[in-house]
Amino acid sequence: MTSMSRARVARRIAAGAAYGGGGVGLAGVAVVGLLLAEVRLARRHVGNGAVPHVPRAQGLYGAGYTVPGQPPLRLTLLGDSTAAGQGVHRSGQTPGALLASGLAAVAERPVDLRNVALPGARSDDLDRQVSLALSDPGRAPDVCVIMIGANDVTHRMPPTRSVRCLSTAVRRLRTAGAEVVVGTCPDLGTIEPVQQPLRWLARRASRQLAAAQTIGVVEQGGRTVSLGDLLGPEFAANPRELFGPDHYHPSAEGYATAAMAVLPTVCAALGLWPADEDRPDLTRREGFLPVAKAAAAAASEAGTEVAAAIPAGPRGPWALLKRRRRRRLQEPEQAPTVAS
């Protein structure tokens, strides 16, 4: 699928989500019924060797930066098993811990991490998760990171409903005063046991949803980062290294790669990145595009950020497409301090 056609499909899905439609399918989803035997074969492999335990990573990171009278930054993760960190053994290997410790180092402030993500969650669970994230009156998160979408594709949730749920969640969080960064639907075509033609369909459906998610998020004032093929060409070359033992969830190295791509956008959303980094760099093929075109381009290239451009262009909403330089993240050396 070309970038132009992906942009059209993404815009139709996002428009359907905004206006209550539900008839746009992902990648000709009706034909998936012809591939049930292959789906069953993939399911027998995916999940073998799974690590059922999700390490608890909540707490205070960067306690050494504490300054009397200055509260810690509040970071909340929402979403599915990827946001929760399923598939690794230690709390410091989860994306939440990596982002919290990295954010603390950049901001030179402690970061209070909360994680309300639920393994297996689809976008229709975000309403419950947002309520949890906002349950402390007067203490809305400073920034929220959402990773969602894979289960929407595998469970064939209508994409318009998926995007509508995500857009509503972003709007609620932004209204409460939180910055929002969404890691869009990962490329399910990279799951090792999945064979052709299901692999092709999974990749196409994933990228369509990721592009539509980007439009919905940006229009609500959030930013997106494409998770794509787990954020790097190295994944295609080293799938066994970047997948966990269940061949479905990321390994510790895979989560570190994802967090490394998301952190610069989190910092930019909080105004912690140098101002000149928010200007497009033509040498990295960055620039202002209509939001649907920016969304389609981002879906095709992992690690790409899309944020709203102000003011909007004459042909409707425009967005800034960024390819930020990644920052290598280290696993926290100590367990987080339990937040009060």
Contact 31, 59 (CB under 8 A): no
And the tokens for 127? 């309403």
And the tokens for 251? 């390994």
For 181-215, b/e burial (b = at least 16 CB within 10 A) is bbbbbbbbbbbebbeeebbebbbbbbbbbbbbbbb
Give the whole-angstrom CA distance, residue 163 versus residue 125.
12
The dihedrals phi and psi of 144, each to the nearest 5 degrees, come to -120, 140
* Residues near 132 by beta carbon (within 8 Å), at least 6 away in sequence: 116
Q: How many CA atoms lie within 13 A of 160 on its CB side?
A: 15
From the list 104, 125, 211, 208, the residue with the least C-alpha distance to 168 is 125
Within a 10 A sphere around the Cβ of 331, how many other Cβ atoms?
16
Instruction: Give the DSSP H or E segment for 155.
Output: none
What is the DSSP pairing of strand 179-183 with strand 143-147? parallel
Catalytic amino acids? 81, 246, 249
Give the whole-angstrom CA distance, residue 19 versus residue 129.
24
